[in-house]
Amino acid sequence: MDDYVSYQQQVVETAQLLVEKGYLMATGGNISLRISGQRAFAVTPSNYDYLRMTLADVCVLDFSLNRLEGQLKPSVEAAMHAAIYQARPDVNAILHTHQAYASALTLIKAPIPALFDEQARFLGRSVEIIPYAPSGTGFLKDTVAKHVKNHNNAFMMQNHGALIFGHDMERAFHNVEILEKCALAYLLALCTERPVSKIPLAVREIAFAKLRGDQKKVEKGLPVKDGE
């Protein structure tokens, strides 16, 4: 277990912080962290109170979903997490939340265009809607894996919730907060029934190029410093 303690600790601490911030409710959602140098990841257990969770409750699985650590049943979305890590070598942390404002946009199938500089810099060109698929199914895993290859770091799953990525857990958590800010602002703007302005296309592409630069560094195993 010692090999995985730091990863399990990050999962527990982040899950509990997401609950405190209101981005995770009850036992909904799930989070994971890639194990450096291995084809494996630490992931939250299925249907378990985040505030009661301890390091020993966090499961460690390989990409074939074989158990390496932990006694509890892993999240029903574990296969989805494994598929994302294999499709996106730049992603080291995945947060699947049921945050309210982003979830509301999934109900009206409203993707978020590039509204703010920081959104394009850290989340990508847009926040797209991934079509509905039942939770915990191979259909959802395959649908998600296909849609996340565009290198955006945030997505909204129709009638479900949000998927947020980061090169580490801290960046992924910050991206959750950026997404919720953008979702709330976009919802309020839509309610005015007035045209919603976007950042200029050239600015969006410059910001996205910086994001891709970070991702390429991660793929090569190089350190990334936010804001570079």
Instruction: Name residue, tokens 């891709």.
Output: 212
pLDDT at 28: 86
Low-confidence winner among 67-71, 135-139, 187-191, 223-227 (lowest mean pLDDT): 223-227
pLDDT digits (tens, 9 = 90+) for 86-108: 999 999 999 999 999 999 999 99
Enumerate the β-bridge partners of residue 62.
40
Rg of the chain in Å (alpha carbons)? 17
pLDDT at 226: 67
Tokens coding 215: 């991702």
Is residue 168 scored above 80 in pLDDT?
A: yes
Q: Are 179 and 127 in contact (CB under 8 A)?
A: yes
Beta-carbon contacts of 64 under 8 Å, excluding residues fewer than 6 positions away, are: 82
Point out the catalytic residue in the list 20, 69, 77, 180.
77
pLDDT digits (tens, 9 = 90+) for 189-215: 999 999 999 999 999 999 999 999 999
Beta-carbon contacts of 43 under 8 Å, excluding residues fewer than 6 positions away, are: 11, 30, 31, 32, 33, 58, 59, 60, 61, 74, 75, 78, 81
pLDDT at 64: 97
Is residue 227 scored above 80 in pLDDT?
A: no
Q: What letters, b where the CB count within 10 A reaches 16 and e where it falls short, cover 39-48?
A: ebbbbbbbeb
User: Is residue 177 flagged as an active site residue?
Assistant: no
pLDDT digits (tens, 9 = 90+) for 64-84: 999 999 999 999 999 999 999
Tokens coding 10: 């990050």
Return the number of other C-beta atoms located less than 10 Å from residue 146's C-beta. Answer: 13
Is residue 10 scored above 60 in pLDDT?
A: yes
pLDDT bracket for residue 120 (50, 70, 90): very high
